[in-house]
Chains A and B, each alone.
Chain A
Amino acid sequence: MPTFPFEIVSPEKLLFTGEVEAVVVPGMEGEFTVLKDHSPVMSVLKPGIVEIDETAAVKTQLFVRGGFADVSPNGLTILAEYAIPLAELDSARLDADVTAAEADVARAKDDESRRIATEKRDQLIELRGVLKL
C-alpha cells in the first residue's frame, strides 16, 4: 500500500514521525481513516485511540486526550493535547481525567463552555466503558 508522512506531537515531545500506510483518527464528528492522498481536513479530536498502521503487520495504538488533526497534501499532523501509548494507560489515569473533566463541567460559566465540557466528559466515560478498565 502507498505510504504518506505522519507526525504526532504532544506539547512535551514528538511521539512518532515517519511514513505510514493508514492512520485511524478519532475525530470530533466521528472516527475517520486517513490514507495517502486524503483530501485536506482539519478536525478537532475527541479523547480516543489513534491507530497507526506503519504496514499491515506493524500497528501502534496511542491514547490521545483531545487535540487536533491536520490532513494536508504534505501528510498528516496530529497535535495532541496529551498522548501516551495505549499500553501505558491504566484505569487510575483515566479516572483522574474523568474527574478533571467533571470539575470543568462544574466550572463552566456559560452554556457553550458547559456543553463542550459535558461532551468531553461523556466521551471519556464512554471510552472507559469501551476499554473496560
Chain B
Amino acid sequence: MASLKDLRNRIASVKATQKITKAMQMVAAAKLRRAQTAAEAARPYAERMEKVIASIAGGLGAGAPAPTLLRGTGYNGVCLLVVCTAERGLCGAFNSSIARLARDRATALMAEGKAVKFLCVGKKGYDILKRQFSSQIIELVELRGIRNLSFENADVIGRKIIDLFEAGEFSVATLFFSRFRSVISQIPTAQQIIPAELPEGAAAHEIVYDFEPEPAELLATLLPRNISVQVFRALLENAASEQGARMSAMDNATRNAGDMIKKQTLTYNRTRQAMITKELIEIISGAEAL
C-alpha cells in the first residue's frame, strides 16, 4: 500500500494538472468568442458570392461554354483532398474526426480506382495522414505563427489549389473542415470546391443583367476568388470549432481531475485514520500487557 507521503504527492500533482486544464479552458473560451465573431462576420460575403456566381452561371445559358472551374474537366480520375485541421492538440476528437473523414473518403476513392492527393492545412492532420498516405501528400501548409487569420492567408492556399488545378494535377477538389454549430457540437464536413457546387434552384433568374465585362470573363475572375473565399470560410469555421472542442475537452479534464482528487483524498484520510487506530491499539495492548 502507498504511504501517506506518496498519496499526498499524488494529490498535489493532480491538483496542479487541474489548474492547467482549468486555465486552458478559460483561454479557449476567450478565444472562442473572438473566433466565433470572425466566422459569423465572414458568412455574408461567402453567401453573396455563391448567389452571384449562381446567377451569372444561370444567365450564361447553354450555348456558352462554362469555365472548367465550374463544370469540371469531364475527367475525374484524380482527386485532391484539402484537409484543414488545427496546429495544436489537446482539443478532444477535433483533429482526428476531420482526419478520419478524409481518410475514409480517400480509401473509398482509391477502392474505385481513383488517384488521391492531399493538401494538408495544419500540422495535426498532416501527422495523422502521413502514417498512411505519406507519398500522396503534396504539401503541408502551416498556419502556426498566425494570430488573426486574414483573407490573405486563405488566398495563398486558394492560389496554390488553382495553380495545381491549372497544371492538371487533379480534377476534383474537396475541402475537409469542421463546421461550427455550437460549443459542444462541431460537424466534420466535406465540401466540393472544384467543380463548384451551386445551390439548387438559385440559377433560375428572371432579371436581365448588364454585364461588365462579359459573363464568361466575369466568371473567370470570380471563380478563382470563390475558391479562396470558401477556403477562408473553412479556416474560420475550423478556428471556432477548434476552440469549442478544446473548451469542452478541457472542461471534461477539469471535472475528471476533481473526481480524482476527491477519491484520493478519501483514500488518504482512510489510510491516515487506519494508522492512528493501529498506533492506539499498539499502545493500549502494550499497557494491558503490563
Contact = CB atoms under 8 A, between A and B. Distances in A.
B141 interface: no
Contact of B213 (A7, A10, A29): A29
B45 interface: yes
Contacts of A44: 212-213, 218, 221
Interface in A58-106: 68, 70, 72-73, 77, 79, 81-82
A25 to B, nearest CB: 10
A79 B221 contact: no
Interface stretch (B132-140, B202-210, B243-251, B263-271): B202-210
B151 A42 contact: no
Contacts of A28: 212-213
Contact of A14 (B44, B218, B232): B44
A133 interface: no
A33 to B, nearest CB: 14
A82 B229 CA distance: 12
B49 A79 contact: yes
Interface residues of B, number: 27
A3 interface: no
A72 B210 contact: no
A13 B48 CA distance: 13
B202 to A, nearest CB: 13
Contacts of A109: 166
Contact of B41 (A13, A39, A70, A77): A13
Given A13-B42, A70-B52, A39 B210 contact: yes
Interface string B8-46: 000000000000000000000000000000100110111
Nearest to B163: A109
Contacts of B109: none
B256 interface: no
A42 B210 contact: yes
B190 interface: no
A7 B47 CA distance: 13
Given A44-B218, A116-B221, A10 B209 contact: no
A11 B42 contact: yes
B212 A43 contact: yes
A103 B142 CA distance: 22
A129 B213 CA distance: 26
A77 B232 CA distance: 20
Contacts of A82: 151
B273 interface: no
Nearest to B53: A68
A11 B229 contact: yes
5 pairs of A and B residues whose beta carbons are closest in the complex:
A43-B212, A11-B151, A13-B41, A9-B45, A41-B210
Interface of B: 38, 41-42, 44-46, 48-49, 52, 56, 150-151, 154, 166, 207-213, 218, 221-222, 225, 229, 232
18 contacts: A10-B151, A11-B151, A11-B232, A12-B42, A13-B41, A13-B42, A40-B210, A41-B209, A41-B212, A42-B52, A42-B210, A43-B211, A44-B218, A70-B52, A72-B207, A73-B207, A79-B45, A79-B48
